[in-house]
Amino acid sequence: MLSSANHTAFHLEQRDVWQRFTDGDRASYDGFVATGAADSDFLDEWCSLVREAVARGVEFRRLRIVSEPVTDYIRWEHALTPANLAAGEQVRWLPRSQCTDLLVVPVDFWVFDARLVRFGLFSGDGGIVGHQVRDEPGISKLVADCFEAAWERGIPHSDYTPA
């Protein structure tokens, strides 16, 4: 879907842990937990897609709503984020405690060009259950408005230190 975006690609992440590891990211995560060093080489293909989208003029924003204290998984994501930034993503972090007066869609999602939404559905332990794609204008507006309200409160990556 990112390759079909013309103007915007917004991603809201709310999981404190995921079980969606491939060999490359599992090795990076395990290495990070053991040593504190994050190897982002497994992100090369993703970063290439982002660079291509940004070169086409797509504004790419990612917001992560996180519980504090953060999990090892979130610390690892934070350590990897410079690769996302270098590819052209804008990334912000929002502690869950700062969302108590926000209406937030309770699942992770992507919004493409303010018209197409892809919801990520996860099990309680972070495994992917599936996805749901919606293109109804009312759903798209609701989700885009949710993202914008949370984005306004988000802390830029350079200013956020995982607690």
CB 3, CB 45: distance < 8 Å:
no
**How high is the pLDDT of residue 39?**
93
CB 103, CB 117: distance < 8 Å:
no
**How high is the pLDDT of residue 28?**
92
Angle between helices 23-35 and 72-87 (to 10 degrees): 120
Which H or E run contains 85? Answer: helix 72-87
Domain that holds residue 66: 2-159
CA–CA gap between residue 121 and residue 26 (Å, rounded):
21
**Model pTM?**
0.94
CATH number (domain holding residue 55): 3.30.870
Domains contained in the chain, number = 1
134-161 pLDDT per residue, tens: 999 999 999 999 999 999 999 999 999 9
